[in-house]
Amino acid sequence: MQDCLTLKKSNCKNCYKCIRHCPVKSIRFSGNQAHIVNDECILCGHCFVVCPQDAKQITDESEKTKVLMQTGEPVIASLAPSFIANYPGVGINAMREALKKLGFADVEETAIGAHIVKTEYERMLREDKNRDVIITSCCHSANLLIQKYFPGALPCLADVLSPMQAHAQHIKRRMPNAKVVFIGPCVAKKDEADHYKGLVDAVLTFEELTNWLSAAGVTLNPELDSDEETRARFFPVAGGILKTMEKDIGGYTYLAIDGVENCIEALKDVESGKIHHAFIEINVCSGGCIGGPVMEKYHKNPVKDYIAVAQYAGPRDFPIEQPDLMRLRKSFSPIDTESKMPSETEICAILRQMGKFRPSQELNCGSCGYNTCREKAIAIYQGKADPSMCLPYLKDKAESFSDTIVKNTPNGLIVLNENLEVQQINAAARKIMNIRSASDVLGEQVVRILDPTQFMNVLKSGMGVYDHREYLAEYKRYVDQTIVHDRESHLLVCIMRDVTSEEREREKKESISTQTVEVADKVIDKQMRIVQEIASLLGETAAETKIALSKLKESITNE
């Protein structure tokens, strides 16, 4: 399969919206990025339309078309009949005039091919008596859906070229050297052109054409013109094929199914043998091709578009000679998606990884993109998903982890709203403030348990307070208090570290230190007094000794 849809990795925000809207879940998530599984994709383009980040992009074949024009051979545009809805008020002649300015040799309506195809359907209904159920093969996405997911319905799929292919064949039969470029609202046509070689040389979406016209400065003239009317222009609306056909052939029941969900349910009935003798027009896009993914992507006006198509169509058929029957044949074969299925034991093991231990825990909320938890488990087994895509599981895990931290941290934690009302308080905070139960203070003003001044200052200034030592006199506790304001959640968070023991120890050390200094001062004073007394006594003794010795000296001298 051609890589018609690719991913701009930098744009993927991991929102799972594409997988929620993918009818066959052909998207794989790895490395926080979405990847399209080409072997499973039916190219319905839903992921392209719904992606809020424009992460999905369609392969642009504008340059390929310009290269074809440079070969010198005529390049003919096959314009899908839905153009009248995409370019309101602009008829085929005005489109031809504009596209010739881009370098196209001519422009024809794909409705020519639609007429050829519907005529072949009518022949099948009249002549192929062995056909019980016939499913139209105009929609390539519907064909891929059957080939990949409902191979049992393949015998019912009409082995007929699509209108795009039939028209390309018609052009090349008339102009053997011509190149054909199909222009329409469909992503899948790019793959169809690539898979069935030799008919369509390139495919442009309406969006690509619009961008090319704009870049070239070519303006479309609002002129609703046409050389002829044709019923085949009804093909791009739901039930449009049936509108062009004779429906009184062979007693068949005629059904028109549009929208991929309806197609899937109808194919289940066909595959199970519940439907008989029916001709089923099937179209993956809701409303038909006018609901295609690249009707300028956001062009979604089903009623207005239907009216535009109906008014431009006519009651007659193209006067075209029907080609040989064998030229219109197209074969379909099953396409193996190679999706291995897990056993029940393996599914249960994966569910346990997602925190689903009981059926009641399988919420089937669809937030991961899968309809049920079991579908998600199968996708994990197939390598297309991982357990972290389960948002309830992640939420519970995060909350459990958060609760574990809050409950077991030795620090007190109080959360207030901007009205200073207590929203959360943990056990450590209740212990600091002698609060028996959290319910006693939840929803109450913080002033009931703490001085609100600091909280009010933080709320007013927007600046947090960090490790501010506070004495809670009422509780006879010292705490290091940190208060921050979370503007996004509009909450004030207060973290209190109980430092009462530290403070008491510090006070005790200060008291001992003071007492030691006082004792030292007293000892020094006493010692000084003793020294002074000793000095005084020594002074008196020395004087008396001096007198005695002097008298002794005189006495000896006199002798």
Residue 429 — very low, low, confident or very high, per pLDDT cuts 50/70/90?
very high
Find the angle CA(272)-CA(277)-CA(282) to the nearest 5 degrees: 70
Q: What is this structure's pTM? A: 0.71
- Contact assessment for residue 75 and residue 179, using Cβ atoms and an 8 Å cutoff: yes
Which of these, 443, 492, 446, 503, lies nearest to 465 by C-alpha position? Answer: 492
If you write DSSP's letter for every residue of 261-287 in order, what string do you get?
HHHHHHHHHHHTT---SEEEEEESSTT
What's the CA gap between 170 and 318, in Å, rounded? 13
Per the model's pLDDT, the better-predicted residue between 129 and 89 turns out to be 89
Instruction: Encode pLDDT of 239-284 as tens digits.
Output: 999 999 987 787 889 999 999 999 999 999 999 999 999 999 999 9
Domain locations in the chain as residue ranges: 60-328, 342-375+385-408, 409-498
Q: Superfamily assignment of 409-498 in CATH?
A: PAS domain (3.30.450.20)
The contacts of residue 321 (CB under 8 Å, 6+ apart) are: none
What's the CA gap between 162 and 140, in Å, rounded? 8
What's the CA gap between 93 and 309, in Å, rounded? 16
If you write DSSP's letter for every residue of 230-260 in order, what string do you get?
-GGGGTTSTTHHHHHS---STT-EEEEEESH
What's the CA gap between 81 and 109, in Å, rounded? 6
Residue 132 — very low, low, confident or very high, per pLDDT cuts 50/70/90?
very high
Quick check: 488 pLDDT over 80?
A: yes
The rounded Cα 60 to chain-centroid distance in angstroms is 23
The contacts of residue 86 (CB under 8 Å, 6+ apart) are: 185, 206, 295, 296, 299
Instruction: Encode pLDDT of 41-75 as tens digits.
Output: 999 988 888 888 888 888 899 999 999 999 999 99
What's the CA gap between 21 and 29, in Å, rounded? 15
Tally Cβ neighbours within 10 Å of residue 415.
18
Residue 160 — very low, low, confident or very high, per pLDDT cuts 50/70/90?
very high
If you write DSSP's letter for every residue of 6-21 in order, what string do you get?
EE-GGG-----HHHHH
DSSP element (H, E) containing 525:
helix 500-558
Which of these, 258, 273, 113, lies nearest to 182 by C-alpha position? Answer: 113
